[in-house]
Amino acid sequence: MARIAIGGFMHETNCFVPDPTDYEDFARPPDRPGILRGEEITLEFAEKGASSAGFIAGSDGNHEIRPLLWTSTTPGGTVTARAYERISGEIIALLSDALPVDAVYLDLHGAMVSAQHEDGEGELLRRVRAVIGDDAPIVISLDYHANVTDEMVAHADAILPYRTYPHVDQYETGKRASEAMKRLLIEGRPKGRALRHLPFLLPLNFQCTLVEPSKGLVEAAVARENDDIVSLSYLPGFPPADLHQCGPTVSAHALTQEAADSAVDDIAQLVALKEAGFAEPLLGPDDAVIEAVRLAQSATKPVVVADTQDNPGCGGSGDTVGMLAALLRNKAQGALFGVVKDELAAAAAHKAGVGAEIELDLGGRTNLPGVEPFHGRFKVLVVNDGKYQTTGPVSQGKPYNVGPSALLSIDGVLVAVSSLRVQALDRTVFEHLGVDLTQQNIIVLKSTCHYRAHFDPIAETTFAALAPGGHGANPADYPYEKLRAGIRYYPLGPVHKV
């Protein structure tokens, strides 16, 4: 029986939004447990859900699990030095107290940037390795949007990522991580490790594994695994994270260096051949609404439009209202828009009560280019406390608390408002306000791809729109300071110059 320390520190960092992510954001997130310590981790993940749950279940009770600390919060701005040092410091202290351990498993994201460390995960792994020494294996699970770095590959001994976007395989990822750990406990740390950075960034709109070429690339990486490979990962990266090694990667840990190099070179070559295949139409606000109205005229289901540049799941502020203005300019009827983060508007709706009309400057409170409030007179249809139970395959039944919320209406358009940021990756973000989604002609929601897992079954079609927001869909618009020179901003796109 091996003694395995487990922990987690997860954040997807958008370096180009103004508000930083501080300790309190980890302690009190709206859509996840917060900071768990010790046995709280095993109790929280006793059932199917996060990768940590899969890892614990995959251990089959045959190993002693020593839980340290696990935390995650909503994607957002750069993690403050205070938050990073306080959380990573506690993980290292708890690990030191747990010694000796035979192995470590960490549930990470792979795109965390702190004020002091552009490679947040690589730095954490360096510290963990310094504590446990050179013999004990470290296995990590990563989000599909990870930016894998040299330091991560060097200090970890197996990298098991999500294979889906929308992410519906977190639990299975943890199970695969547990299988890799069992192997390493017998065979020891792998001698072969390799990493290839691809020569272009990949916007999130082009990363969906429901369609080609991403679907086929993930499948090819899985098929390329063999007995010599401990882990082989194709990951498309997270462009809004400003670091030197940002972007798509192929990485491997293997019994020999030859096996690792051969595997990553095969998949990297396949990605290069598929570069021209990454494409999706991205329309401006008015063009998107005009197209949605046109499609809705003959549709039997709602037309779903992603307000992708204000996706809270990519660090967007959640309060931009450019698409609402476009819906009203183009006289869309039977439309739903949201969820808009505006605690002042939600409070005003609660104070006025159902049936009242209120004049508001809605949203647009974040200081971002092109973002401004929408002034209008709204009718209050529903108010509630913002607490609900999710039902979709991405949220997997998690309880949410987005604070006082409201459903408003203006000129044939419904507007969902919350006090805290929330991505519309689950239909319950609207349904808890009493909305029958199947009766809407058009649904404009704040997400990029995750929404598709729960909204596609009720949608006529889906596409993306580009309204001003904190998550630019085109990496060429990001003011990178640390990105390496020579990488293309997007497939077949212009080259980044320092």
Mean pLDDT of 427-444: 98
pLDDT of residue 48: 83
Contact indicator for 332, 412 with CB cutoff of 8 Å: yes
Burial of 296 (0-12, 13-18, 19+ CB in 10 A): buried
* pLDDT tens-digit readout, 216-258: 999 999 999 999 999 999 999 999 999 999 999 999 999 999 9
Residue-wise pLDDT tens digits, 163-214: 999 999 999 999 999 999 999 999 999 999 999 999 999 999 999 999 999 9
Bridge partner residues of 196 (DSSP)? 250
Structure tokens at 115: 């004020």
158 contacts 230 by C-beta, under 8 angstroms: yes
The answer to whether 138 and 157 have CB atoms below 8 angstroms apart is yes
Main-chain dihedrals φ then ψ at residue 375, nearest 5 degrees: -95, 130
User: Residue 453: helix, strand or coil by DSSP?
Assistant: helix
The pTM (predicted TM-score) of the whole model is: 0.92
Closest CA to 405 of 352, 324, 359, 345: 345
434: left (phi over 0), alpha (psi -120 to 50) or beta: left
CA angle 392, 398, 401 (to 5 degrees): 110
CA angle 101, 170, 108 (to 5 degrees): 50
Omega prior to 166 cis, within 30 of 0? yes
Work out the angle at residue 84's Cα, subtended by the Cα atoms of residues 78 and 90, and round it to the nearest 5 degrees.
160
Write out pLDDT tens, residues 356-391: 999 999 999 999 999 999 999 999 999 999 999 999
pLDDT of residue 382: 98
Overall average pLDDT of the 145-167 stretch: 98
pLDDT, position 47: 83
Query: Pairing between strand 442-445 and 303-307?
Result: parallel
pLDDT of 102 over the 80 cut = yes
d(CA 168, CA 162): 8
Residue 55, CA distances (Å) to 30, 43, 51, 392, 408 in order: 25, 13, 6, 22, 43
Residue 311 to residue 219: CA distance in whole angstroms: 27
Give the bridge partners for 71, in sequence order.
Answer: 9, 35
